Amino acid sequence: MELTKSMNAFSVNGKTYHLPDKAVVVICFDGCGDEYLDVALARDKMPNLKKMALRGYRGMVRGALPSFTNVNNTSIVTGVSPALHGICGNFFYDRERDQEIMMNSAEYLRTPTILAAAAKTGRKVAVITAKDKLRDILSHELEGIAFSAEKATEAREDTHGIAQVNKFIGLDTPPVYSAEASLFVLKAGVALLQQKKADFLYLSLTDYMQHKYAPEAAESLAFYQAIDTEFGRLLDLGAIVGITADHGMNAKQNPDGSPKVIYLGSLLEEKFGQGFRIICPITDPYVKHHGALGSYVVVYLPEGMAEAEVKTWLLQQPGITEVHGRDTSLHLLEQPGDRIGDLIVLSGRDTVLGKTPADHDLSALDSGLRSHGGRYEEMVPMAISHPLNTEYQAKAAGDPRNFDIFEFCLNGIAD
Ligand code: ZN
Ligand code: ZN
């Protein structure tokens, strides 16, 4: 494939990336816990992924915490942890302004992106997301193409680097709560690559299907099969394809299928009195499929409250697996110091954390509760279409991160 004339390398956020001659496609397969791939592969639904695993690489990588979408997408496109890029959830509490602030905007991003840097070398960069909420951060300072499946009809040449997306791809805009929203992103990527409009792509899907269906559900298998077909098209076009996820997904339920929720606000109030502020950083305008319930919340203590006492008590509560004060939040959880509270609380594989029952609408959960946010959704798959060189084989065997995926695709491919 013919490429635009480009420099061979660029550096961003302390890492140097070497540009291959081939087109590069990195996919964030939203909510794709490794079990989904295992089940689909075992049932022969993903022949192209199987090919990738045999010829290239398939393994596990560690995501950033909290295991939420915007946190990890931002890590992937910057190559660094939330401590550096600053995006640590959909919401944070600004103590100075005494306001809960939504972070879905590049205004809160503290580092440049790999995508914008690649574009500066002359590569034809394209970012396509399922939900429009991510587009602003991912396309920060990008000279290239950026649009979402959700608002494809709104894409304009001067603001999105492309117009008439639907005509170009030959597809109507899909509903945002659908399997088609993710497939649209991949099909758009195929079209851009095919028509040589882009040679450096970041394709970010949505986890609607994983929130709704377990790996072995017929709907999941059909979805993974359709996704795999698009992987095959990208491989056929000769691109280096790297696939990872922002987080996994687990059933957060009691054995009877009811949501397993710890209402932390109610619990703390009952034990220690009023004045706690709980931030559920999963909260966003698209709450339908998780009720703003995840396995990670941030707690601000009332003034004068003894942190150690609250922490010790919380750690004794069933379902709570980790409680971090400021120090370990910064170092172990890689959080930005000015956007976290006094305590960060994580819950178990089957448990989510909320404020009070009145703050969460469970009636919208029509098919049980599957969610993410905590430690048990932190390890995610990584697959690369091409064999890794010795250096990156060793790196893959260590503690690779999902936000190293551009590094693997650009620096890690064997000659
Ligand atoms: Zn996600
Ligand atoms: Zn989600």
In a domain, 6, yes or no: no
Q: What is the CATH number of the domain that holds 329?
A: 3.30.1360.110
Q: What is the pLDDT of residues 295-333, one digit of tens each?
A: 999 999 999 999 999 999 999 999 999 999 999 999 999
For residue 249, the tally of other CB atoms under 10 A from its CB is 28
Q: What is the CATH number of the domain that holds 78?
A: 3.40.720.10
* Cα–Cα separations (whole angstroms), residue 111 to 62, 163, 165, 192, 402: 21, 28, 29, 27, 18
User: Are 235 and 56 a contacting pair, CB within 8 Å?
Assistant: no
Distance 248 CA to ligand 1 centre (A): 8
Using CB atoms within 10 A of its CB, is residue 187 exposed (0-12), middle (13-18) or buried (19+)? buried
* Predicted local distance difference test score (pLDDT) of residue 7: 72
In a domain, 292, yes or no: yes
Q: Which of 41, 199, 195, 175 is nearest to 115 (CA)?
A: 199
Residue 37 backbone dihedrals phi, psi, to 5 degrees: -70, -45
400 and 277 in one domain? no
In a domain, 273, yes or no: yes
CA distance 162 to 308: 54
136 and 74 in one domain? yes
Distance 213 CA to ligand 1 centre (A): 14
Number of domains in the chain: 2
CA distance 231 to 328: 39
166 and 69 in one domain? yes
* Predicted local distance difference test score (pLDDT) of residue 1: 39
155 and 282 in one domain? no
222 and 348 in one domain? no
CA distance 199 to 23: 5
In a domain, 265, yes or no: yes
383 and 350 in one domain? no
Using CB atoms within 10 A of its CB, is residue 208 exposed (0-12), middle (13-18) or buried (19+)? buried
* Predicted local distance difference test score (pLDDT) of residue 393: 98
Distance 86 CA to ligand 1 centre (A): 17
Distance 118 CA to ligand 1 centre (A): 24
245 and 124 in one domain? yes
Question: pTM higher than 0.85 for the full model?
Answer: yes
Distance 307 CA to ligand 1 centre (A): 31
Segments forming the whole domain that contains residue 329? 261-369
| Beta bridge pairs of residue 157 | none
Distance 285 CA to ligand 2 centre (A): 12
DSSP 266-314: HHHHHHH-S--EEE-TT--S--TTTTT-BSEEEEEPPTT--HHHHHHHH
* Predicted local distance difference test score (pLDDT) of residue 415: 85
Residue ranges of the chain whose pLDDT lies below 50:
1-5
Length of the chain: 415
In a domain, 309, yes or no: yes
Q: Which of 94, 74, 92, 95 is nearest to 84 (CA)?
A: 74
156 and 56 in one domain? yes
272 and 238 in one domain? no
CA distance 385 to 252: 33
